[in-house]
A and B are shown apart, each in its own frame.
Chain A
Amino acid sequence: EVELVESGGGLAQPGGSLRLSCAASGFPFSGYEMHWVRQAPGKGLEWISYINARGTDIKYADSVKGRFAISRDNAKSFLFLQMNSLRGDDTALYYCARESFHGLDYWGQGILVTVSS
């Protein structure tokens, strides 16, 4: 069974950093492209980052470019999101998601990041 489990969220101060992890299981992780998507409280979905299967092609939304960094460890089946220079509008539930020809076909349960002093 495919499973994605996020961790590493919590409270951070403005200007601070957090590193999110997504543990993948139940599928050949190294063969899939992966994404991070976030959802601010009461708001819609916002795509924020993509990484290809080998980690050689990476893309970001303008809202996080230069502050966030996506990476992966295929040997351990982990996806990461390093978040720096955090701002209040980064407060959101962060999801990792797997991409297939069916779109984002599996999602984690989400992890809450709150940026506040």
Chain B
Amino acid sequence: DIQMTQSPSTLSASVGDRVTITCRASQSISTWLAWYQQKPGKAPKVVIYEASSLENGVPSRFSGSGSGTEFTLTINSLQPDDFATYYCQQYNSDSWTFGQGTKVEIK
């Protein structure tokens, strides 16, 4: 099975900061990667799909990049609504694997 390693596990940042979260796959997944945002008590919501495509309705300060085994989620000018936990997920193989999650918290 493909393993997804996400870092950091926690990220402390301030409003207006630029933050980057990294996800590494144990083998190549081309660009079959999505990023999800989850807030406490809520279901996850997709923000980026196919590694770099912005989901409808998601602010343009969110961006994704990467292919193969290395991927990043970047949030430019962090806003109060962005404090949440973010997960990467691969959907290339016969199993769909999530990363461990990155909690973006207020510094």
Which residues does A use to contact B, with CB under 8 Å?
35, 37, 44-47, 50, 59, 61-62, 95, 99, 101-105, 107-110
Contact with A along B21-50 (1 / 0, CB 8 A): 000000000000010101000011110011
5 contacts between A and B (CB under 8 A): A47-B96, A62-B1, A99-B91, A103-B91, A105-B46
B95: interface (CB < 8 Å): yes
The smallest beta-carbon distance between A32 and chain B, in angstroms, is 14
CB-CB under 8 A for A103 and B95, given A44-B87, A44-B101, A62-B1? no
Summarize A's interface: helix, strand, loop or mixed.
strand
A61: chain B residues at CB < 8 Å are 95
Decide: A103 and B46 in contact? CB cutoff 8 A. Answer: yes
The smallest beta-carbon distance between B29 and chain A, in angstroms, is 12
User: Which residue of B has the minimal Cβ distance to A103?
Assistant: B34
B94: interface (CB < 8 Å): yes
CA distance A82 to B86 in the complex (A): 29
Contact with A along B66-79 (1 / 0, CB 8 A): 00000000000000
Decide: B87 and A45 in contact? CB cutoff 8 A. Answer: yes
Which residues does B use to contact A, with CB under 8 Å?
1, 34, 36, 38, 43-46, 49-50, 53, 55, 87, 89, 91, 94-101
The smallest beta-carbon distance between B9 and chain A, in angstroms, is 10
A45: chain B residues at CB < 8 Å are 36, 38, 44, 87, 89, 98, 101
User: How many pairs of A and B residues are in contact by the CB < 8 Å rule?
Assistant: 57
A46: chain B residues at CB < 8 Å are 98
User: Which residue of A has the minimal Cβ distance to B45?
Assistant: A107
6 A-B pairs with least C-beta separation: A103-B34, A107-B43, A102-B49, A47-B96, A44-B101, A45-B98
CA distance A61 to B101 in the complex (A): 19
CA distance A47 to B89 in the complex (A): 9
